[in-house]
C-alpha cells in the first residue's frame, strides 16, 4: 500500500487514536487490524505530521543518549569564536617540525634486474624501480628460499620484528623510495 494514499476513514481513525494517547505504533496496529491495512509506525507518524496532529510532548530525559547529553558539561565559547573570527593557528609539535631523516633498510646483494618475462620459476621476485614515470620495474632474480617468493636477504628485509602471527596481521607493501 502506498503511504500517500490514506483513506479518509483511516485518517480519522488515526486522529482518534492519537487523541486517546496511543503511541503511533499502537495506532498503526489498531488501524491495520480494523481496516486490514499494513501501515507502519513511520507511516502513521508521517501522516500525523501532514495532518498537523499535535502529539504528546516527550519527557525531557527520554533516553540514554539524551541523559548523557544532559549530564555533559558545556564548554563556553571564547568571544573570538562567537564573533566568527578565525581560530589562531597552532604550530606543530617540535617532533614534527624537525623530522629525523628516514633510515632505509637495504641488503648487501646486487640484484640481477630481470624483467618479469625473464624470471624463472625459482627466481626472487623482489621488485626494483617503477617509482618514476616510464621507469621499468625489474626484479632481483637470485635463487629464492623454499616456500618464499624472495631470496634470503630480501626475505629478511620484508619480515619485520615480531612473531609470525603479528606479521600476518597486516599486509606489508614495500616500495623503494629515496631518502630526502
Q: How far apart are CA 126 and CA 131, in angstroms?
A: 14
Q: What is the largest CA-CA distance in the chain?
A: 87
84 part of a folded domain: no
Answer yes or no: do 165 and 107 share one domain: yes
Q: How far apart are CA 88 and CA 84, in angstroms?
A: 12
**Of 29, 56, 72, which residue is a domain's last?**
72
DSSP string computed for 89-114: PPPPPHHHHTPPPP-----S-----B
149 part of a folded domain: yes
Domain span including residue 150 = 100-180
For 71-116, write each residue's pLDDT tens digit: 555 666 555 555 555 556 666 666 566 666 666 667 778 888 999 9
27 part of a folded domain: yes
139 sits in which H/E element: strand 137-139
For 5-24, write each residue's pLDDT tens digit: 799 999 999 999 988 988 89
89 part of a folded domain: no
The model's pTM: 0.35
The structural domain count of the chain equals 2
Output the CA–CA distances (angstroms, integers) from residue 15 to 30, 42, 47, 85, 104, in the order listed: 12, 15, 10, 50, 74
Answer yes or no: do 60 and 104 share one domain: no
Dihedrals φ, ψ of 137, to 5°?
A: -95, 125
Amino acid at each position: 500500500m502506498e503511504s500517500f494514499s490514506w483513506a479518509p476513514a483511516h485518517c480519522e481513525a488515526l486522529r482518534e487514536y492519537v487523541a486517546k494517547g496511543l503511541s503511533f505504533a499502537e495506532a498503526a496496529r489498531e488501524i491495520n487490524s480494523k481496516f486490514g491495512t499494513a501501515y507502519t509506525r513511520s507511516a502513521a507518524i508521517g501522516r500525523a505530521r501532514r495532518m498537523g496532529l499535535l502529539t504528546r510532548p516527550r519527557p525531557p530525559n527520554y533516553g540514554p543518549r539524551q541523559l548523557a547529553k544532559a549530564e555533559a558539561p558545556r564548554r563556553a565559547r571564547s568571544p573570538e569564536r562567537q564573533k566568527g573570527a578565525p581560530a589562531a593557528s597552532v604550530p606543530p609539535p617540535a617532533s614534527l617540525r624537525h623530522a629525523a631523516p628516514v633510515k632505509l633498510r637495504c641488503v648487501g646483494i646486487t640484484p640481477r634486474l630481470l624483467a618479469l618475462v625473464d624470471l624463472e620459476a625459482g627466481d626472487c621476485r623482489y621488485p626494483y624501480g617503477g617509482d618514476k614515470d616510464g621507469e621499468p620495474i625489474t626484479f632481483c632474480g637470485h635463487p629464492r628460499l623454499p616456500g618464499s617468493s624472495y631470496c634470503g636477504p630480501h626475505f629478511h628485509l620484508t619480515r619485520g620484528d615480531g612473531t609470525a602471527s603479528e606479521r600476518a596481521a597486516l599486509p606489508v607493501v614495500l616500495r623503494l623510495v629515496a631518502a630526502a
